[in-house]
Amino acid sequence: MSPDATPGPNPPRRVRVTAPRSQARRASPGYPVAREIAEESEVGQVFVRSLIRSQLRLAVVVAVGFLLILLAFPLLLAWVPGMDRATFLGVPFGWLLLGVGVYPLIGLSAWLYVRTASRNEARYLDLVEDE
């Protein structure tokens, strides 16, 4: 259902959708058998486990970092003297931090995560597809 898939001269015939999809597709098409075997070998499992570990570590580090900074915002407002009364263009600092400032932080964390996670996966593919 892509926006540019206009019906051509011979559009595919309309079919009735019947069966539900309780058993969803298990593998992506063309998931190579050779790779599946490689991944089930002992060496392959070492690679898989190390990939899972590094992805989990990355996710936890980003999440904890984000939450610590988020926690620092209200603490900053409470503890830095005068901060709760400080304003910028008439808007109190607290409102700016929570109403606007958090969002770039979320975006930055997400972007960093996606970049590093993709790099981890590329490294894994290098290992496995060389097997």
Partner 1 sequence: MNPAVGYAGLIGVFVVTAAIGFYGLRISRTTEDFYVASRTVRPWWNASAIGGEYLSAASFLGVAGLILISGADALWFPIGYTAGYLMLLLFVAAPLRRSGAYTVPDFTEGRLESVAARRVTSLLVVLVGWFYIVPQLQGAALTIRIATGLPSWVGSVAVAVVVCVTVLMGGMRAITFVQAFQFWLKLTAIAVPIVFVLIVMANNGLAIPAVAEPFASNPVGSPPSGTYRNISLVIALLFGTLGLPHVLVRFYTNPDGTSARRTTLIVLALLSVFYIFPTLYGVVGRAFAPDLAAAGTADALVLLLPGRLIPGLAGDMLTALVIAGAFAAFLSTTSGLVVSVAGVISQDVLGGRVRGFRIAAVFSSIAPLGVALMTDSMQLAGSVGLVFAFTASTLCPLLLLGIWWRGLTDAGAIAGMLAGGALCGGSIVLGRVLGSGTGLLGELLAQPAAWTVPTAFAVMIGVSLATKSRRPGGITKIMTRLHTPERRSAAATR
Q: Give residues in contact with partner 1 (CB under 8 A).
A: 1-3, 5-7, 11-15, 17-28, 30-32, 35, 39-40, 45, 48, 51-52, 55-56, 59, 62-63, 66, 70, 74, 87, 89-92, 94-95, 98-100, 102-104, 106-107, 109-111, 113-114, 117-118, 121, 124-125, 128-129
For 42, half-sphere exposure in the C-beta direction (CA atoms, 13 angstrom radius) is 0
The residue assigned the tokens 């011979």 is 10
Q: For residue 120, give every residue at least 6 positions away whose Cβ sits within 8 Å of its Cβ, in sequence order, or none.
A: 51, 54, 55, 58
Q: Could you give the CA distance from residue 8 to residue 42 in angstroms, rounded to a whole number?
A: 50
Of 39 and 83, the one with the shorter C-beta distance to partner 1 is 39
- Nearest approach in angstroms of CB 111 to partner 1 is 7
- DSSP annotation of 101: I
The residue assigned the tokens 């996606």 is 114
- Nearest approach in angstroms of CB 43 to partner 1 is 13
- Nearest approach in angstroms of CB 81 to partner 1 is 18
